[in-house]
Amino acid sequence: MSGRVRVPGDKSISHRAIMLGAVAEGRSKISGFLEGGDCLATLGAFRSMGVGIERQGPGRLSIDGVGRDGLRACAHPLDLGNAGTGMRLLAGLLAGQRFDSTLTGDASLSGRPMNRVIDPLTMMGARIDADDGHAPLMIRGGRSLNGIRYVMPVASAQVKSCLLLAGLYAAGQTCVREPMPSRDHTERMLRSFGAHVVHRKGWVCIQGGQSLHGVDMDVPADISSAAFFMVAASITPGSNLVLEHVGMNPTRTGVIEILRMMGADITVESKGMAGNEPVADLRVRYAPLTGIHIPASLVPLAIDEFPVILIAAACADGETVLTGAAELRVKESDRIKAMVDGLTELGIWAVPRADGLTMRGGRLTGGRVQSQADHRIAMAFTVAGLVATGPVDILDCANVDTSFPGYVAFAVGAGMQVSVSRNDPA
């Protein structure tokens, strides 16, 4: 794995750029936008609510904001596809509108828990009907929302962001407190758009009734997508790969800390800023890895990177223990189960636990792995293919496009041998 590459734009930031640009006053120009299925679903939802969004080139958008109260009812359900971020953040933004909306998603999204946003939004005065806490969500318009103080039971940026967006439409102040810090892109971006967001003694608070103003914004490369190549280069002898313009928000860099604890050789070069977000180039060289007990405090800061971190652990010397990661069970798939099953298929000893797993590094064989239609599980196992003693066949890969369009060509360009079989729709 060698050369210099730039992975596509950050998924979390791209979703938020559309949402805030849509309800801001005036025009926003976005570059580096992730044109993957998840963010395109959010883009489509806002177009259906009357927002003019024009594509001006690859990853370049111009959004004509309609202002706080300018969204229009959509006659049909808004389909968020596979995107938990799209659905949960939109639920917050739409709970305080004058019109009704319905949010739907694919089979995976329809199986994910939505009570974590429905309950606190209901406390604010929203009315959301759902089927036992699952999508579709029917959001009633014309409700008056009130600010609340809410202590979140789990660290979740989606829940925090949902409530902050609802808070923009609520009377008084909405304050949220997390058990551990989660990604803070919403807070940073709200500030870029001119809103006042306050951090006080572990609480993040927003005053209702504020207006946003359009901005020009560059979206960093997604550290979650870069993570596949950090591990790929770390486990492949002779590698020297530079990942350019990677988002280095400290609430996202847990993957670098964890890999370094395992012995990875990752150096940070040419630091800068993209909008309100830190970025850097990362140089990754091959290094022998050792198993570790992953500190639970790093789990929310690397929550999306565990599939590929566990591939690193499979190549490491000794045991790796992951705890405090029960949230992995309610991602696009049950990622603890998907990883234990896949690793076991490839000859690695791995035992699940309710909130993580214990596993031992070893020699990866070839085999046939079920991705559970989860983009990150599929990509993680392509990385395993770099060191496996036989071919790794990964099934059900179409959803890779939700976060990393063009992944196969990109991975081949960086040095991986990966191809799409005609039997898989990806």
Q: What six digits make up the tokens of 319? A: 């045991």
Q: What six digits make up the tokens of 209? A: 């009734």
* Residue 236 C-beta: closest distance to ligand S3P, Å: 26
Pattern 59-88, ligand S3P, x by CB under 6 A: --------------------------x---
* Residue 164 C-beta: closest distance to ligand S3P, Å: 11
What is the maximum alpha-carbon separation in the chain? 61
Query: In sequence order, which residues have a C-beta less than 8 Å from that of residue 418 and are 6 or more positions away?
Result: 382, 385, 408, 411, 412
Site membership for ligand S3P, residue 161 (CB under 6 A): yes
Segment contacting ligand S3P by CB under 6 A, of 150-158, 166-174, 314-322, 410-418:
150-158
If the CB atoms of residues 287 and 336 are measured against ligand S3P, the closer one turns out to be 336
Per rule CB under 6 A, count of chain residues that contact ligand S3P = 11
Omega of the bond leading into 136 within 30 degrees of 0 (cis): yes
Residue 16: other Cβ atoms inside 10 A: 26
Catalytic residue, candidates 106, 222, 304, 401:
304
Binding-site member from 184, 257, 277, 304 for ligand S3P (CB under 6 A): 304
* Residue 223 C-beta: closest distance to ligand S3P, Å: 12
Angle at 329 between CA 325 and CA 334, to 5 degrees: 135
Segment contacting ligand S3P by CB under 6 A, of 65-73, 151-159, 317-325, 364-372:
151-159
Query: How large is the angle between the packed helices 84-95 and 115-123, nearest 10 degrees?
Result: 10
Query: How large is the angle between the packed helices 84-95 and 37-48, nearest 10 degrees?
Result: 20
Pattern 325-364, ligand S3P, x by CB under 6 A: --x-------------------------------------
Main-chain dihedrals φ then ψ at residue 216, nearest 5 degrees: -100, 135
Binding-site member from 82, 97, 108, 158 for ligand S3P (CB under 6 A): 158
- Catalytic status, residue 304: yes
Binding-site member from 12, 174, 236, 372 for ligand S3P (CB under 6 A): 12
**Which residue, among 384, 367, 377, 413, has the nearest Cα to 398 in the 3D structure?**
377
Distance (Å, whole) CA 132 – CA 274? 41
Binding-site member from 109, 303, 315, 348 for ligand S3P (CB under 6 A): 303
Site membership for ligand S3P, residue 225 (CB under 6 A): no
3-state SS assignment for residue 131 = strand
Binding-site member from 61, 157, 166, 231 for ligand S3P (CB under 6 A): 157
Q: What six digits make up the tokens of 171? A: 């009377």
**Which residue, among 265, 227, 263, 260, has the nearest Cα to 246 in the 3D structure?**
227
Hey, which residues are catalytic here?
304
- Where does this chain bind ligand S3P (CB under 6 A)? 12, 85, 156-158, 161, 182-183, 303-304, 327
